[in-house]
A and B are shown apart, each in its own frame.
Chain A
Amino acid sequence: MISRSLDDHLPSSSTAPHPLQRNLAPHLHPFQKPREYTRAMTAVKMDRMFAKPFVDALGGHQDGVYCLGKDSRRVGVVAGGGGDGEVIVHSLTLRRPLLKIPNAHKGMVGGICWTSEARDGKRGMITAGKLDGTIKIWRSEAFAPGLRDKELFEGSEFASGSGSTSQDILDSAGAIGEMGYDEEEGGGLNLDASKRDKLGESMEPTMVYTNKNGFNGIDHHRTDQVFATASNTVQIWDENRSAALSNLQFGSTMETVNKVKFNQSETSVLASVGNDRTMCLYDIRTGKAERRIVMQFVSNDVSWCPTLPTMMLLASEDHNLYTFDIRNLNSPSQIYKGHVGGVMGCDWSPTGEEFVSGSYDRTVRLWNRESGKSRDVYHTKRMQRVFDVTYTPTADFVLSASDDGNVRIWKSNASKKLGVVSTKERQSIEHRQKLIERYSAEKGVRSIKDRRHVPQSIHNATKLKREMIESRKVKEDRRREHSRKGREKPKAERKKAVIVEQK
C-alpha cells in the first residue's frame, strides 16, 4: 500500500521551500512535444516582441560619416571620419563625442585606424585623407588605455580644466571620463563641450605623411608599428619613418585600391580589394603580391575572420557578400544574399561566427557564417546610405556610419536584454533560445522568426530584383533549349562569382 509521510512532502520549517518530487518517466508527462512546441511558439513571439535593436545615434558630424575606426583593444571608443574632413572620437558609454578634430583633413576622410601599442603613455590614432593625400598620426593621453598615474594624467591636456578628483580616473576599458560623472556639469565628462572643441581645434598631429594620391583605406598591423594604406597601390608604412616602406602591387596595375586589411592571426598577410574588380593577397615578409582573383563586380570592403585565419569576407557591389577560403580562391565558400543595394561595409564579430554588413540600400544586416540568408535586418526612417559598419569588441553591439552624419549603435542581438541578468532569468532565456532553435524548421515558428518588416522601398526593390533574376534565368533556360545539347550547361551560382584566379 502506498503510504506517504507528510515529513517528506511538507516544508521542514515555515521559511523552507516546499519539497518537490520528480518522476521523469514519460507516461507522467503526456503531450511532451505539443507542449514544447507551444512553449517554442511563445518563446519566438516573445523574442520578436522584445526586439528593439536601436540603442542610440551618435551625432556631431557636420557631413556624412564615411568611415569608422574601431580600436580593437578598447570597448567604449570609436572614431568616425566625416565627409568634410572632420574626425570625431565617440564614447559609446557616454554616448557623446570625446574629442572633435574639425579639420583633420582637407576633404573626405578615407580611413581611420588605431596604433597597436601605447607609446610613452599616448595612444595613437591614424587617419588618412581621401583627397588631400596625407596620413596623420594623432597621439594623446586621452586615448591611452589602462589606469594611469595621477601626476601623469594631470600633465595632459585633458587635465587643463578644473582638477577635480573624479576626473582623473580612467575606467578599465581605457576610455576617459566614463567613471568621472559630475552632476553639476550636467552629467558626463567634467570637461565642458567648449573646452573639448578648443582642444580638438588646437590639436596637432605628431606625424604627417604625404603622398601624391589620396587614400581610400588604412589598416594597422596587429602587433608591429606598421600600417598599410590603399591608394592606387598598396603601401606599407612604418610609424617612425616618413616615407613608405614598400609599394605592393600585382603586376603593373595602377588601378585604385578600395580597402586593405591585415589578417589577424597570420599577421603579415594582407588583402586588398580594388576598383578593377580584384581581390589581392600580399605578404609583407616577401613584399610581394601573392595571388589575385578577378570577380564579376567590384568589392567595396574586405574583412578577415578573427577565428578562422583562412576565411575572408568580401562586400560586393552586386548586393551580395562572399566568404572565401584562401586555400581555394576559385569559388566562394558561401554567398550571402539579401541586400538590394551595393554592400559598402562588413565586419566580423569577434567570435567569427557572425558578421554585419551595411549597404547602400539604407539597411544593416546581420548574418550567420553558416547560412546564406541574413539573420536580421536593421533600418530606421532617418538612416541614410550606410557606408561603414563594425562590431564592437565585446560583440554586444554593432555600429553603423551613414550618410546622414550619425554613427548608430545597434544591439547585435535585437531582443537581448541589456544590463545585469540573474541566473534564473538567463537560464530561462537560454531555454527559450534552445526551443526556438529546435523548432525553427517548423512552419509556424519559422514564419514568426523570419518575418521582418522592411521599408516599402526595400520591399519593392526586393520584389523587383527577384523578378529580374527570374526573367534572366528564363532567358538562360530558353537559350539552353535552343542551343546544341551540352553546349551551355547551367553554371552553379558559386562558380559564376570569380572570373579568374591569377598567381
Chain B
Amino acid sequence: MDALLASAGPLPPKKHHHHQKGKPSSNYVKKSQPTSHQTIPRADGTSIDPSLHSILSSTRVPTSFHQSNLASGSGSTPIKPDASLNRIQDKKLKSKLTRQDIVQKQNKIDRHDVNEWLNKAISGDKGGIEVDEELGERTWRVKQKEISDSVGMSSRGKKFDLKFEGMGSYKVDYTRNGRHLAIASSKGHIATFDWQAGKLHSEIQLKESIRDIKFLHSEDFYAVAQKKYVFIYDQNGVELHKLKQHIDPTHMEFLPYHYLLATVGHAGYLKYHDTSTGVMLTQIPSHLGSPHSMAQNPHSAIIHLGHANGTMTLWSPNMTTPHVKLLAHRGPVNGIAVDPSESSAGRYVATSGMDGVVKLWDGRMWGKEVRSWHVRNQVTNLGYSGMGMLSVGGKSGVTVYRNLHEGNTQHTPTPYLTLPLPSLTASSVKFCPFDDLLCVGHEKGISSLLVPGSGEPNFDSGEADIYETYSRRRERDVRGLLEKIKPELITLDTDFLGHINESRGGETFEERNSRSYRQLGRLERLRMDGKADEPQALEEEEEDEDGEGQGEKGGETTEKVKRKMKGKGGSTSRYLRKKQKKNIVDNSLLAMKAKVAAQKKAEDTRRKIASGEIVRETGALARFG
C-alpha cells in the first residue's frame, strides 16, 4: 500500500499532511516479507522491484528530441497557442484545443519548409523580363516579336492567333488546369479545344448572340449564356441542358468547389444553380439593373458584381442583401478582377470604370482604394494572373502591370508590358493558369500572347493537373463530388469555420433567453405548467402581445372550417352554369368551354398514362406532341 502511494509520486501537500495525521507512519515502514513482489535481477548483480518503478515521479523527454535541438532549427522560437484559448474555462477542453493549435502551427511551418525545398526557384526570383534600366531600356517597350525570338521553341509555339473575320467579338475561358480553352463569339461561333495538343473538341455555330462562355468543373462540360437562356453543352458540342430559369443572361461564373453556376442577366437577378443536382439554389435580386461586370473570388467564392451606377456589390447565396456595397467609380464598373496569387490570396480586387480609372482595393478594408490611376484608352476588361499580374484590356490594346501593391502607391504604375491590338478592342482578357500566356478575345478572333513571369510555375497534381490522365480525371470527378462544399459555407471571412464561438449563451435571441425550468420564476413555472391562476383580462393582454403562438390555447377556436371544393362547386363550372342558364353564346363562353375540354383531355391522358394504357413518348421528338 505505502509502496503504491510512494511510487505514485508526490501528493498535494495538504492531502499528504492529512494522511500522515490519520495513521502513524511507523505502521507503514514495518514491511513484511514482500512475497508478492517478483524482483528482476540485473546484470550488475542488483535486482529491481518493478512495482516500485511502475510510476515515475517525473518523466523527461530526451534532449535530442527537444525542439531547440531538432535539425529543422525552426524550433528555436517556441510556438505559442492562440491567445483566445486562454478564455476557455474548461481545463480539459482548453488543453485539447491548445494542443491542436500548436500542432496546426507546427504543421504550417513544416509545410512551408517542405514547399521551399520542393518548389523554390533556383534563380531566386519570380521570373519575367529583365532590362537594363540605366541604359533607358524599359520592359513595356519590349515587343512580342522580340520575346518570341528570345524564348525557346516550345514556348514560341504558345503564341498564336486564331482569326475569325466578321464573327463578332470573342469571349475566352480556360479550364482550371489551363489545358483547355473555350472561345465564343458574339455572333454564335463556339469552339473548345486542347490548345497545347492543338486538338479541337467541338466547334458549333449557334446563329444566336452569345454573351459569355464558361467551363464547368472539367473540360467535359461548358455553359453558354445565349440570347434567351443558359445552355450546357458537353465536350462534343451536344446540347445537354437548357436552363430556363436563367433568362437573358449576360455574365456567368462557375464555383468549382461548390458546383454552383452563378449567372446574372439584364433583369439584375443573381441566380445560383447547382450543376451537380440540377437544382436552382437561389435567385437574388440585385435591384441595381443590368450589371456591367462579374467576377468571383476564387478563395472565398464570393461573387462580385459591377453596376451601371458605379457601385460594386459582393454576394453569397446565403444573403439576400450584398455583403459589401461599394461606390467604386463615377461611371459604370465594367471590369472586376480578384488577385489569386500567393501574396494576396483573394484579398486584392481591381476594378475599372467607364470613367477611365483603374482602382485596386484591399478586401480587408474597403474604405479607400489602395491605388488608383487613369488609363488613356477606354478600359473594357480586367484579368489577374497566377503570379499577381494585372492585365487591363481596352481599346486598341492590353496593358499588363506587376507588383502593384509595392513601392509608391501614389504614382501611376509603370506598365510591365504593352500589347497593342491596332484598331481592335479587347472584349475578354484571361491569363492562362500555370503558364506565361495571356489570351485576348477581340473582334477578329483571339490572340494568345506571351507574358513572361505571369503564370504560377508549380502546379499541384491534386488540385489542377496539366498532365491529367483519363483515370485520374475520373477519380477527381468522384472526389470532387464527394467533397462538394455546402453553399451555406460561403462566407466573406474564409477562416470563419472551426473558430471558437465566443458568444455566450446562444446565438439567437431565443437561445439566449431560454432558461431551464429551474431557472424560471415561480409565475413563469406555473404558467408553463398551465396552473397559473391569472385574471382573464391579463391573459388576453398577454395573448395579444405574444401573437398567434399562444392564441390557440383558449378553449373555443373561432376558425371557420373551409370546405374543399371539388367537382361541381368550382369557379369555372359555376361560371359556365350561369352563362348557359342565360343561354348566351359568345366568344368568352366558347373560349371557356374549349379550356374546360382541354383540361379534361389532359386529365384523361394523365390518368391513362398512370394506369399504363398509353405509353408516354420520350426522346427528342416528344416536344412536338
Give A residues with C-beta under 8 Å from B.
1-4, 6, 9-10, 18, 20-31, 33-35, 37-39, 42, 221, 223-224, 226, 263, 265-269, 281, 283-286, 290, 308-310, 326-328, 370-371, 438-439, 442, 470, 473-474, 477, 503
CB of B206 within 8 A of chain A?
A: no
Residues of B within 8 A of A290 (CB): 1
Contact B459 A28, beta carbon cutoff 8 Å: yes
Task: Report chain A residues within 8 Å CB of B624.
Answer: none
Tell me the minimal C-beta distance from B615 to chain A in angstroms: 39
Interface stretch (choices B30-38, B68-76, B410-418): B30-38
Given contacts A2-B434, A442-B498, contact A265 B54 (CB under 8 A): yes
Q: Is the CB of B38 within 8 A of A223?
A: yes
Hey, which chain B residues are within 8 Å of A439, CB to CB? 498
Chain A residues, Cβ within 8 Å of B456: 23, 28
Q: A26: which B residues are within 8 A, CB to CB?
A: 345
Which residues of B lie under 8 Å from residue A221 when comparing CB positions?
A: 36
From known contacts A23-B115, A221-B36, A309-B55, infer whether A9 and B466 are also in contact, taking CB-CB under 8 Å: yes
Q: Contact at B467–A27, with CB atoms within 8 Å?
A: no
Q: Does B607 reach chain A (CB closer than 8 Å)? A: no
User: Smallest CB-CB separation from B111: which chain A residue?
Assistant: A24
Report the Cα distance A434→B483, complex, angstroms: 17
Which residues from B are CB-within-8-Å of A503? 22-23
* Residue B586 interfacial (CB < 8 Å): no
Given the known interface contacts A2-B434, A310-B8, the answer about A24 and B115 at a Cβ–Cβ threshold of 8 Å is yes
Interface residues of B in 444-497 (CB under 8 A from A): 450, 452, 455-467, 469, 472, 482-486, 489, 494-495, 497
Interface mask (B4-45 → A, CB under 8 Å = 1, otherwise 0): 110110011001000000110001000111111110000000
Kindly identify which residue among B92, B119, B461 contacts A20, using a CB–CB cutoff of 8 Å: B461
- A23 and B458 in contact (CB under 8 A), knowing A33-B495, A38-B486, A266-B51? yes
- In the complex, which residues of chain A have a beta carbon less than 8 angstroms from the beta carbon of B409? none
Contacting pair A223 B485 (CB below 8 A): no
Residue of B with least CB distance to A370: B92
A309 x B483 contact (CB < 8 A): no
In the complex, the answer to whether B483 meets A38 with C-beta atoms within 8 Å is: yes
Chain B 89-104 interface residues, beta-carbon cutoff 8 Å to A: 92, 100
Decide if B342 is an interface residue (CB 8 Å cutoff). Answer: yes
Given known pairs A28-B460, A35-B483, A267-B36, the reply for A2 and B257 (CB within 8 Å) is no
Residue of A nearest to B500 (CB): A441
Q: What does DSSP make chain B's interface, helix, strand, loop or mixed?
A: loop
Contacts of A473 in B (CB 8 A): 518
Instruction: Find the B residue at minimum CB distance from A41.
Output: B486
B149 CB to closest chain A CB (Å) equals 12
- CB pair B8–A470 under 8 Å, yes or no, is no
Q: A285 near B35 (CB under 8 angstroms)? A: yes
CB-CB under 8 A from B452, the residues of chain A are 1
Question: B residues touching A (Cβ–Cβ < 8 Å)?
Answer: 1, 3-5, 7-8, 11-12, 15, 22-23, 27, 31-38, 51, 54-55, 92, 100, 111-112, 114-115, 118-119, 127, 151-152, 154-155, 257, 298-299, 301, 340-342, 344-346, 434-436, 450, 452, 455-467, 469, 472, 482-486, 489, 494-495, 497-498, 516-518
Q: Are A263 and B497 in contact (CB under 8 A)?
A: no
State A21–B462 Cα separation when bound (angstroms): 8
Bound together, the chains give a CA A142 to CA B486 distance in angstroms of: 60
Contact of A27 among B7, B154, B345, B434 (CB under 8 A): B345
A4 and B466 within 8 A (CB): yes
**4 nearest A-B pairs in the assembled complex, by CB-CB distance:** A266-B4, A268-B36, A283-B1, A23-B458
Q: Do the beta carbons of B460 and A22 come within 8 Å of each other?
A: yes
User: Whole-angstrom distance from the CB of A430 to the nearest CB of chain B?
Assistant: 15
Q: Which residues of A contact B3 (CB under 8 A)?
A: 266
In Å, the complex CA distance between A269 and B8 comes to 14
B4, A33: Cβ atoms under 8 Å? no
What are 26 contact pairs spanning A and B, CB under 8 A? A1-B155, A1-B436, A3-B151, A3-B154, A4-B466, A21-B459, A23-B115, A23-B118, A23-B456, A25-B115, A27-B342, A27-B344, A27-B345, A28-B463, A31-B257, A31-B301, A31-B485, A38-B483, A38-B484, A38-B485, A269-B4, A286-B1, A309-B8, A309-B55, A438-B100, A470-B518
In the complex formed, the residue of A with least CB distance to B35 is A224
By a CB distance below 8 angstroms, the chain B residues around A2 are 127, 155, 434-436, 455, 457
Contacts of A327 in B (CB 8 A): 5, 8, 11, 15
Verify B152–A3 contact, CB threshold 8 A. Answer: yes
Cβ B472 vs Cβ A22 within 8 A: no
